[in-house]
A and B are shown apart, each in its own frame.
Chain A
Amino acid sequence: LAKTTQPISMDSYEGQEVNITCSHNNIATNDYITWYQQFPSQGPRFIIQGYKTKVTNEVASLFIPADRKSSTLSLPRVSLSDTAVYYCLVGDQVSGNTGKLIFGQGTTLQVKP
Chain B
Amino acid sequence: NAGVTQTPKFQVLKTGQSMTLQCAQDMNHNSMYWYRQDPGMGLRLIYYSASEGTTDKGEVPNGYNVSRLNKREFSLRLESAAPSQTSVYFCASRGRTAGPEAFFGQGTRLTVV
Binding site for B on A (CB under 8 A): 32-34, 41-46, 49, 85, 87, 89-93, 95-96, 98-106
Contact of B50 among A49, A95, A98, A105 (CB under 8 A): A98
Query: A43-B90, A98-B94, A103-B43 are contacts. A49–B99 as well, Cβ < 8 Å?
Result: yes
Contact of B48 among A32, A100, A105 (CB under 8 A): A100
Q: How long is the Cα–Cα vector from A45 to B4 in the complex, in angstroms?
A: 12
Query: A95-B96, A99-B31, A104-B42 are contacts. A43–B56 as well, Cβ < 8 Å?
Result: no
Asked whether A42 lies within 8 Å of B31 as measured between CB atoms, the reply is: no
Q: How long is the Cα–Cα vector from A66 to B95 in the complex, in angstroms?
A: 28
Smallest CB-CB separation from B4: which chain A residue?
A: A43
Smallest CB-CB separation from A108: which chain B residue?
A: B40
Q: How long is the Cα–Cα vector from A41 to B45 in the complex, in angstroms?
A: 18
Asked whether B102 lies within 8 Å of A46 as measured between CB atoms, the reply is: yes
Asked whether A49 lies within 8 Å of B101 as measured between CB atoms, the reply is: yes
Asked whether A44 lies within 8 Å of B101 as measured between CB atoms, the reply is: no
Say which one of B65-73, B78-86, B104-112 lies at the interface with A.
Answer: B104-112
Taking residues whose C-beta sits less than 8 angstroms from the other chain, chain B's interface range is 20 to 34
Q: How long is the Cα–Cα vector from A62 to B7 in the complex, in angstroms?
A: 35
Q: Which secondary structure characterizes the binding site on chain B?
A: loop
Cβ contacts under 8 Å, A45 to chain B: 104
Query: A85-B42, A105-B41, A105-B42 are contacts. A43–B106 as well, Cβ < 8 Å?
Result: yes
Smallest CB-CB separation from A8: which chain B residue?
A: B42
Whether B98 sits at the interface, judged by CB under 8 Å, is yes
Cβ contacts under 8 Å, A90 to chain B: 100
How close is A25's CB to chain B, nearest CB, in angstroms? 18
11 A-B contacts, Cβ less than 8 Å apart? Answer: A42-B107, A44-B43, A44-B104, A45-B104, A46-B102, A98-B50, A99-B48, A100-B45, A100-B48, A100-B58, A105-B42
Smallest CB-CB separation from B51: which chain A residue?
A: A98
Query: A102-B45, A102-B59, A105-B42 are contacts. A89–B100 as well, Cβ < 8 Å?
Result: yes
